[in-house]
């Protein structure tokens, strides 16, 4: 594109963090372009199905993979300083309790050193952890946790008010000229080897020069529905729709008053139960949010899809006892006997697209011209809201750094070791039949 040629037009499907950030960065970089953001839910809707729609999310740069450390630091600088994101960011610290040594903590600290990043971070022992934050984590399950350095505490990390930040980002894009359309997209339209646009559930067709799929866990189904016989278009093993359960914990006034001083707390103990549980302060509604340890899928035919009966929106609130119990485990795991007494409400199943390496996909689709994919947060994508769109725009312009282009490609070499998250073969249907055992498993 030369400076005098008109900008292409864009359709962005999905207004989670990938779509919202893409819309904002696109309109900022080409103010006169026709950019339409489509989602089944209005961005102002009080409840949405997006993984990005949530009470709060962890914001951190603590990563074993230095690429995400760097990206996290870039995003965090904006969470701290950009007037758009700053009102929603709370730097309360994060405590990671890791059983069986703490290679994650060691790698995270090494990454900060390598990048010369100033962070208030260190790996500490169990007894020191118990004494921090007025004994907040004194009842946590520290089984198999290294007594000297099993807990990574990063006071430069924190959390964000998620749905509020997402909504503000979309509003900022709309204010600059992005058109927001509420519609269910049935499929992408490919004619003569080029993606021409999308077709809606009601049959209406929207066209644009470039179509960017930011459709999260719904992507594999959308691609199959677009052309059931055309395997080259389908996601195949590139991503799997997987879910985790979350809930909120309302707090009595005395506890609520301490929320501002509480860190995000994460515990992977016991590892054989699943991934990790966590708990985040939610000071604006006097609550914590917790998430469970069991990652599961809903396999139907060749793919996993988010539950959709009677609708995506209702299905996310229909949480079986066994999964409610899984979130309650977070209270036991982090606060011991005291935690078990706390009430829980607002149980929700949250779906995300997970890749085998937990890397995003930000890439042209290799099967057709005009179609691009930017999604697959792999349970860690939210924190990058301020910067994701910058990289999507670079990808669209063919200017993405070669290493990132390779890492986030649609067609890339799959890792020899599949990520812990995607390895989970727990099926939703099996959780339905399972009676919760006395210990909650
Ligand atoms: C329980 C849980 C906790 C998490 N905690 C954190 C955390 O603390 N920190 C962090 O950084 N990350 C976290 N994540 C990960 C993060 O939330 C996701 O990686 C990220 O939000 C994914 O964004 P997305 O834009 O790809 O997808 P989504 O947010 O799911 O957005 C996809 C959008 O596409 C729309 N859509 C899809 N198909 C269609 C269609 N056919 N027609 C119309 N619209 C459609 C959907 O309605 C939706 O709005 C968590 C995830 C989960 C599940």
- Residue by residue, DSSP assigns 314-329 as HHTT---HHHHHHHHH
* Structure confidence at residue 419 (pLDDT): 67
Q: CATH number for the domain including 187?
A: 3.50.50.60
Indicate if ligand 1 lies below 6 Å from the C-beta of 185. yes
Residue span of the structural domain in which 298 resides = 87-159+240-354
> 261 and 221, same structural domain?
no
Ligand 1 centre to CA of 136 (Å) is: 30
pLDDT confidence bin for 201, thresholds 50/70/90:
very high
Are 228 and 375 in a shared domain? Answer: yes
The CATH number of whichever domain residue 344 belongs to comes to 3.30.9.10
Among 327, 354, 381, the domain-final residue is 354
Domain-embedded: residue 436: no
For residue 67, tell me if it sits in a domain. no
Q: Is 212 in the pocket of ligand 1 (CB under 6 A)?
A: no
Among 354, 373, 399, give the residue marking a domain's end: 354
What is the predicted pLDDT for the residue at 102? 80
pLDDT surpassing 80 at residue 51: yes
Per the listing, tokens 């209270």 go with 331
Overall average pLDDT of the 132-146 stretch: 94
Over 80: is that where the pLDDT of 207 sits? yes
Cα 181 to ligand 1 centre (Å): 18
pLDDT-based confidence at residue 422 (cuts at 50, 70, 90) = low
Residue 59 belongs to a domain: no
Task: Indicate if the pLDDT at residue 15 is higher than 90.
Answer: yes
Same domain, 284 and 344: yes
Residue 250 and residue 115 share a domain: yes
335 and 249 both lie in a single domain: yes
211 and 331 within one domain: no
Residues 337 and 314 reside in one and the same domain? yes
Tell me whether residue 4 is in a domain: no
Residue 112's pLDDT band, with cuts at 50, 70 and 90, is: very high
Task: Using the predicted structure, report yes or no on whether residue 311 has a pLDDT greater than 80.
Answer: yes
Whether ligand 1 lies within 6 angstroms of the CB of 145 is answered as no
Q: Kindly state the tokens that stand for 368.
A: 């057709």
What lies within 8 Å, CB to CB, of 139 at 6+ separation is 334, 335, 336, 337, 338, 339
- At residue 4, the 3 state secondary structure works out as coil
Mean pLDDT of the chain: 93
- SS3 call for 160: strand
Q: What is the pLDDT of residues 364-410, one digit of tens each?
A: 999 999 999 999 999 999 999 999 999 999 999 999 999 999 999 99
In a domain, 420, yes or no: no
150 plus 255 within the same structural domain: yes
Cα(418) to ligand 1 centroid in Å equals 21
Residues 134 and 148 grouped into a single domain:
yes
Please state the rounded mean pLDDT for residues 152-156: 97
Take residue 393 and report the two structure tokens written for it: 């725009």
* Percent of the chain predicted with pLDDT > 70: 95
Do 298 and 191 belong together in one domain?
no
Per-residue pLDDT band at 274 (split at 50, 70, 90): confident
Q: Residue 2: which pLDDT band, with cuts at 50, 70 and 90?
A: very low
What secondary structure letter does DSSP report for 259? G
Q: Is the pLDDT of residue 77 over 70?
A: yes
Question: How far does residue 86's CA lie from ligand 1's centre (Å)?
Answer: 21
Q: What is the pLDDT of residue 103?
A: 87
- Burial degree of 41 (CB within 10 A; 0-12, 13-18, 19+): middle
DSSP characters for 273-332? Answer: G-S-EEEEEEGGGTEEEEE-S--EE-EETTEE----SS-HHHHTT---HHHHHHHHHHHH
pLDDT at 270: 77
Provide the pLDDT for residue 338: 84
> Does 68 map to a domain?
no
Q: According to the model, what pLDDT value does residue 4 have?
A: 53
Residue to mutate (ligand 1; options 52, 166, 187; most atoms within 8 A of CB): 52
This prediction has a pTM of: 0.96
pLDDT of 440: 35
Does 361 sit in the ligand 1 pocket, CB within 6 Å?
no
Give the pLDDT score at 421: 64
Least confident of 81-95, 276-290, 297-311, 427-441: 427-441
Query: What's the pLDDT band for 216 if we cut at 50, 70, 90?
Result: very high
pLDDT of 441 strictly over 60: no
Mean predicted confidence (pLDDT) in 46-56: 97
pLDDT score of 439 more than 70: no
Q: Is residue 426 part of a domain?
A: no
Which residue, of 354, 382, 406, is where some domain finishes? 354
In the prediction, which pLDDT does 436 show?
Answer: 45
| Sign, CA torsion 156/387/43/345 | negative
Mean pLDDT of the 289-316 span: 95
Task: Encode pLDDT of 224-250 as tens digits.
Answer: 999 999 999 999 999 999 999 999 999
Q: How many whole angstroms separate alpha carbon 317 and alpha carbon 319?
A: 6
263 and 315 part of one domain: yes
Which of 26-35, 274-283, 361-370 is predicted least confidently?
274-283
Q: Is residue 265 part of a domain?
A: yes
Which atom of ligand 1 lies closest to the CA of 264? Answer: 8
Classify residue 162 as exposed, middle or buried by CB count within 10 Å of its CB (0-12, 13-18, 19+). Answer: buried
Compare 263 and 256 and report the one with higher pLDDT.
263
Residue 261, pLDDT score: 87
Pocket lining: 15 vs ligand 1, CB cutoff 6 Å: yes
How many structural domains comprise the chain?
Answer: 2
Q: Are residues 343 and 399 both part of a single domain? A: no
Q: Could you give the percent of the chain with pLDDT greater than 90?
A: 85
Give me the mean pLDDT over the 160-186 stretch: 98
């Amino acid at each position: 594109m030369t400076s005098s040629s008109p900008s292409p037009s864009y359709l962005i499907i999905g207004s989670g963090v990938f779509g919202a950030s893409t819309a904002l960065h696109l309109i900022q970089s080409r103010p006169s372009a026709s950019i339409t953001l489509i989602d089944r839910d209005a961005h102002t809707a009080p409840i949405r199905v997006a993984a990005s729609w949530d009470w709060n999310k962890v914001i951190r740069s603590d990563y074993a993979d230095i690429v995400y450390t760097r990206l996290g630091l870039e995003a965090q600088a904006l969470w701290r300083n950009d007037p758009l994101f700053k009102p929603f960011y709370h730097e309360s610290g994060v405590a990671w309790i890791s059983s069986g040594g703490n290679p994650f903590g060691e790698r995270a600290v090494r990454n900060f050193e390598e990048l010369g990043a100033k962070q208030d971070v260190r790996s500490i022992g169990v007894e020191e952890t118990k004494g921090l934050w007025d004994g907040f984590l004194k009842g946590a399950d520290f089984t198999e946790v290294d007594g000297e350095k099993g807990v990574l505490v990063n006071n430069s990390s924190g959390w964000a008010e998620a749905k509020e930040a997402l909504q503000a980002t979309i509003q900022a894009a709309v204010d600059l000229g992005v058109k927001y359309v509420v519609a269910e997209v049935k499929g992408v339209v490919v004619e003569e080897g080029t993606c021409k646009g999308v077709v809606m559930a009601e049959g209406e067709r929207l066209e644009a020069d470039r179509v960017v799929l930011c459709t999260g866990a719904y992507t594999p189904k959308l691609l199959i529905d677009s052309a059931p016989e055309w395997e080259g278009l389908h996601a195949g093993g590139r991503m799997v729709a997987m879910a985790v359960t979350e809930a909120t914990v309302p707090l009595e006034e005395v506890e609520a008053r301490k929320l501002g001083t509480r860190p995000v707390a994460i515990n992977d103990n016991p590892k054989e139960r699943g991934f990790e549980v966590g708990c985040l302060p939610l000071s604006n509604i006097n609550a914590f949010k917790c998430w469970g340890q069991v990652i599961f899928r809903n396999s139907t035919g060749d793919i996993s899809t988010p539950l959709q009966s009677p609708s995506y929106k209702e299905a996310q609130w229909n949480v079986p006892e066994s999964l409610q119990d899984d979130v309650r485990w977070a209270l036991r795991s982090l606060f011991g006997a005291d935690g078990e007494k706390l009430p829980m409400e607002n149980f929700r199943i949250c779906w995300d697209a997970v890749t085998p390496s937990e890397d995003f996909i930000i890439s042209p689709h290799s099967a057709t011209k005009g179609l691009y994919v930017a999604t697959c947060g792999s349970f860690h994508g939210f924190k990058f809201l301020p910067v994701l769109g910058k990289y999507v725009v670079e990808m669209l312009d063919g200017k993405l750094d070669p290493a990132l282009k390779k890492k986030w490609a649609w067609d890339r070499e799959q890792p020899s070791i599949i990520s812990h998250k995607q390895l989970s073969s727990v099926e939703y249907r099996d959780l339905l039949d399972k009676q919760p055992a006395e210990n909650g498993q």
